[in-house]
């Protein structure tokens, strides 16, 4: 029986401004098993990123609980690695320095840091750029460096908030393929938020479709596509059918829910 890596129950988020309240999120139950790759999608502005930030411990919810391997989340922690929409690299640090940062903050011995940094720079194809600054890298290389930094401290769950959204189409596809290979190699548990339906289908074991605000889980779509997945999977009829089905779920929101 597979272990539950992540569980969110009764999670609510409400914003209040000038005496007005706005409910943005109401997720009754969200479960991710160890080693699963879950993608989350929904209408623009529905609260996808807010939910991920609550899971990451960066935003406090008004109700409910989030647990990682049975331990309740009360704030950010090393059991969860977060990749944001921005590259979020320190511009004054080299690539190697950025990857080492989390390990240094944890007080890991220097020899172990060097070995770990070298390992992940090699995996991400950045070994020849270890002494470069972020300004000297392409967008795709910056995201690979950001991913190497998260993976270096070995989080139990990897949370990704539209990490490829700012990349051009060609680089984005290359990063998607690279991420699937990395996931197959490491067996990491991944929750990946995206606004791109094709990306959600290509990457995910399951696609969790959220409703319009306040975001609720509208449906979970299990993706029965073969792994390992090359980019040719995107051209398959089955992939197109999944895409169209999920698009209909999102587009089929009642008009009053979208206002």
Asked if 14 contacts 62 with a C-beta cutoff of 8 angstroms, the reply is yes
Domain residue limits, the chain: 1-73+200-259
The candidate with the shortest Cα–Cα distance to 218, out of 24, 27, 38, is 27
User: Distance between CA atoms of 203 and 119, rounded to whole angstroms?
Assistant: 24
Residues in Cβ contact with 167 at an 8 Å cutoff, skipping those fewer than 6 apart: 139, 140, 143, 175
Topology of domain 1-73+200-259 in CATH is: Rossmann fold (3.40.50)
Look at the pTM and tell me if it is higher than 0.85.
yes
Asked if 95 contacts 131 with a C-beta cutoff of 8 angstroms, the reply is yes
pLDDT of 257: 42
pLDDT of 133: 96
Question: Mean pLDDT for each consecutive 10-residue tract of the chain (259 residues)?
Answer: 93 88 93 97 92 95 95 93 84 95 90 94 93 93 91 93 88 89 92 96 97 93 91 89 95 51
End-to-end CA distance of the chain: 43
User: Which two three-digit tokens encode residue 189?
Assistant: 């548990």
Residues in Cβ contact with 134 at an 8 Å cutoff, skipping those fewer than 6 apart: 87, 89, 90, 91, 93, 95, 98, 142, 145
User: Distance between CA atoms of 200 and 196, rounded to whole angstroms?
Assistant: 6
User: Which two three-digit tokens encode residue 124?
Assistant: 């991400």
pLDDT of 253: 56
DSSP letters spanning 138-157: -HHHHHHHHHHHHHHT--SE
Report the run of H or E that residue 30 belongs to, with start and end.
strand 20-33
């Amino acid at each position: 029986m597979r272990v539950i890596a992540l569980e969110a129950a009764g999670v609510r988020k409400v914003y209040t401004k000038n005496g007005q309240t706005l409910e943005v999120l109401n997720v009754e139950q969200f479960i991710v098993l160890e080693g699963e790759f879950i993608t989350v999608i929904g209408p623009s502005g529905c609260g996808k990123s807010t939910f991920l930030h609550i899971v990451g411990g960066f935003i406090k919810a008004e109700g409910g609980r989030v647990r990682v391997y049975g331990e309740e989340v009360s704030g950010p922690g090393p059991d969860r690695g977060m990749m944001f929409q921005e590259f979020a690299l320190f511009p004054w640090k080299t690539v190697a320095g950025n990857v080492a940062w989390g390990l240094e903050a944890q007080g890991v011995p220097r020899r172990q840091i060097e070995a770990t940094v070298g390992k992940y720079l090699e995996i991400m194809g950045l070994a020849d750029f270890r002494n470069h600054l972020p300004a000297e890298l392409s967008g795709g290389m910056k995201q690979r460096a950001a991913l190497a930094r998260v993976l270096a401290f070995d989080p139990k769950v990897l949370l990704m908030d539209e990490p490829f959204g700012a990349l051009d189409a060609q680089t984005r596809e290359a990063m998607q393929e690279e991420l699937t290979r990395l996931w197959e190699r490491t067996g990491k548990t991944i929750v990946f938020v995206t606004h791109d339906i094709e990306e959600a289908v290509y990457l995910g074991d399951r696609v969790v479709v959220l409703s319009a605000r306040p975001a609720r889980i509208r449906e979970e779509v299990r993706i029965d596509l073969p792994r390992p997945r090359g980019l040719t999977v995107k051209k398959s009829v089955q992939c197109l059918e999944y895409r169209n089905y999920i698009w209909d779920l999102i587009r089929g929101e009642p008009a009053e829910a979208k206002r």
